[in-house]
């Protein structure tokens, strides 16, 4: 019991130390790190969709739900870089954090389904999903620190609940379609997160908007 208390205290102190170190790092450097993290997140989601596409049945493309059916579609976000440049820093950070938070539950659904996915690259897909979860968690922790430096508005997170359930379907085609659809939504949202963070990084570095 004593050893458990000591270990728990050590973990707690380590976390406090890491938070203190992060808070001491300049905002621009934290944004650089966050942008690198969002790069990895988007790259992983892109590789996953490519893995699935390698053996995706033609009928699946015809039956795929429209992007408007993604659970995050209700969130009003800039459509392109020009629009993003017109949004305040705090609001961009809030949007990025809201999108990232919205994928905690769906990523769990993908992770639980990947192990039995009827696909030749099932093992590789399951491994990349686990990496996505880890990368999403690390990016989320970083954005928590960043938002605390940017004020209350940046710390606001809009609720975007996932209502798709944990069952992606009983038959092979349905499971592949629903898995692929979720990944396509994630790829779209990870691109948005990456774009918003790059705009924030440019602003912090006072880079010409045309170079962002």
Which token pair is 12?
């707690």
How many angstroms from the chain centroid is the CA of residue 191?
Answer: 9
Q: By the 8 A CB rule, do 191 and 42 touch?
A: yes
For the chain, 212 residues long, give each residue's pLDDT as a single digit of tens: 444 444 555 544 334 334 444 455 677 888 999 999 999 999 999 999 988 887 777 776 767 888 889 999 999 999 888 888 899 999 999 999 999 999 999 999 999 999 889 888 899 999 999 999 999 999 999 999 999 988 899 999 999 999 988 888 888 888 888 999 999 999 999 999 999 999 999 888 877 766 66
- pTM score, whole prediction: 0.84
Handedness of CA 179, 67, 85, 207 (dihedral sign): positive
- In a 13 Å sphere around the CA of 149, the CA atoms on its Cβ side amount to 18
Q: By the 8 A CB rule, do 132 and 107 touch?
A: yes
Q: Which fold has domain 27-211?
A: Growth Hormone; Chain: A; (1.20.1250)
Which token pair is 156?
């606001």
- Alpha-carbon distance 134 to 203, whole Å? 28
- Buried b / exposed e along 73-96 (16+ C-beta atoms within 10 A): eebebbeeeeebeebebbbbbbbb
Residue 151 pLDDT:
87
Q: By the 8 A CB rule, do 114 and 99 touch?
A: no
Residue 209 pLDDT:
64
What does the CA dihedral 112, 181, 67, 134 come to, rounded to 10 degrees? Answer: 40
Nearest to 199 by CA among 44, 102, 93: 93
- Alpha-carbon distance 135 to 149, whole Å? 22
- Alpha-carbon distance 48 to 71, whole Å? 19
- Whose tokens are 């691109």? That residue is 191
Q: If you write DSSP's letter for every residue of 11-43 in order, what string do you get?
A: HHHHHHHHHHHHHHS-HHHHHHHHHHHHHHHHH
């Amino acid at each position: 019991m004593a050893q458990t208390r000591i270990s728990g205290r050590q973990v707690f102190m380590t976390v406090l130390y890491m938070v203190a170190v992060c808070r001491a790092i300049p905002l621009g450097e934290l944004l650089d790190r966050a942008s690198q993290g969002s790069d990895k997140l988007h790259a992983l989601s892109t590789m996953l969709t490519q893995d699935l596409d390698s053996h995706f049945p033609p009928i699946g493309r015809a039956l795929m739900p429209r992007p408007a059916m993604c659970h995050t579609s209700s969130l009003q976000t800039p459509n392109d870089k020009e629009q993003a440049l017109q949004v305040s820093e705090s609001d961009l950070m809030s949007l990025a954090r809201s999108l990232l938070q919205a994928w905690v539950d769906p990523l769990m659904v993908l992770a639980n389904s990947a192990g039995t996915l009827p696909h030749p690259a099932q093992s590789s897909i399951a491994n990349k999903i686990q990496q996505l979860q880890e990368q999403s968690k690390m990016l989320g922790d970083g954005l928590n620190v960043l938002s605390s430096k940017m004020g209350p508005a940046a710390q606001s997170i809009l609720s975007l609940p996932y209502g798709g359930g944990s069952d992606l379907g009983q038959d092979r085609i349905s499971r592949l379609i629903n898995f692929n659809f979720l990944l396509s939504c994630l790829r779209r949202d990870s691109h948005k997160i990456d774009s918003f963070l790059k705009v924030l990084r440019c602003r912090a570095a006072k880079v010409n908007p045309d170079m962002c």
